[in-house]
Amino acid sequence: MRIHQCLFNAATFRRVFDFGEREVAHWFPGHMAKGANPLFQENLDVRPNLLILNKMDLADTSKKQSILKRLEREGVRNVLFTDCLKQRDENVKEVVPFVTKLIESGPRYHREDDRSYCLMVIGVPNVGKSSLINAVRRTYLKKGKASKVGGEPGITKAILTKIQVCDRPIIYLLDTPGVLPPRIENIETGMKLGLCGTILDHLVGEDIIADYLLFSLNRLDRFGYVEKYNLEGPCDDIQHVLKCIAVKLGKTKRMKAITGVGNITVQVPDYTAAAYDFIRAFRKGELGKVLLD
């Protein structure tokens, strides 16, 4: 398809996403309810804390300075960007010196003899908390995985035992379940959280997540999906896109059809499997780096 035709088609795409009567499921099991406290931020502010923005390999690093400035305006100054899946991430090496300095310079630090520290790792689901613990441990102790990781939220369901990650000084980290507010009031915020994998896909619906992803990519003029799935051009019809993905990847399922001469079994495109592949490709950065404002 010619470039001008693609641009013309894109100009006619949706500018507003119709959520209809849908509601984002409130994935808030018991292990998360225990960690959600309305005074959580207030309690956190009285202790030294470091904000780690992980998965930087999936982020648009050109926005790094603007992100730091925005955080500074909000009073957040201790920030590190990491990619914990890299075997050697220079920023992971900064974690121990950073937290050591914060602790020892804090007004509540009065320990002359005890040189061991215990820190809690907290955050929303599926941002790589367990991966961070493993990465710091691998960097400083040359040890393997100590905390279970996975590609979906909810892998860690309870606070584990203390995991040593460094011996000079002795530092222990506590892995914790991901926490979200008890209720997500804004449905679009909920959709962005679902798109980033902080809520289990099936609780929101793979179809609506895929549709919102297509809407977001088109709105931001990010058409990497066209090349990945060999489409003719940008498209605003999620059913058409998922059908093309299913055909390309051979994702089909059997369905019984009732005809005038009896029942037959036919192969039809598996839209759910196609939607899952589309969403997973976005989360792995295969559709380009996208900033969801």
Contact 141, 165 (CB under 8 A): yes
Instruction: Write out the binding residues for GTP.
Output: 54-57, 126-131, 178
Q: What is the DSSP letter of 55?
A: -
Please state whether the peptide bond connecting residue 169 to the residue before it is cis, i.e. omega within 30 degrees of 0: yes
44 Cβ contact partners less than 8 Å away, ≥ 6 residues apart: none
SS3 99: helix
Closest CA to 177 of 35, 54, 25, 26: 35
Query: Hey, what are 161's tokens?
Result: 């035992």
Instruction: Write out the binding residues.
Output: 54-57, 126-131, 178
Q: Tokens 């309305």: give the residue.
A: 38
Contact 134, 89 (CB under 8 A): no
Alpha helix positions (H), the chain: 3-11, 30-33, 40-44, 64-73, 95-105, 129-141, 187-195, 201-204, 206-219, 224-228, 238-249, 271-283
Q: What angle do CA 75, 80, 84 make, to 5 degrees?
A: 145
Contact 180, 24 (CB under 8 A): no
Contact 35, 183 (CB under 8 A): no
Contact 147, 163 (CB under 8 A): yes
Return d(Cα 108, Cα 117) in angstroms, integer. Answer: 13
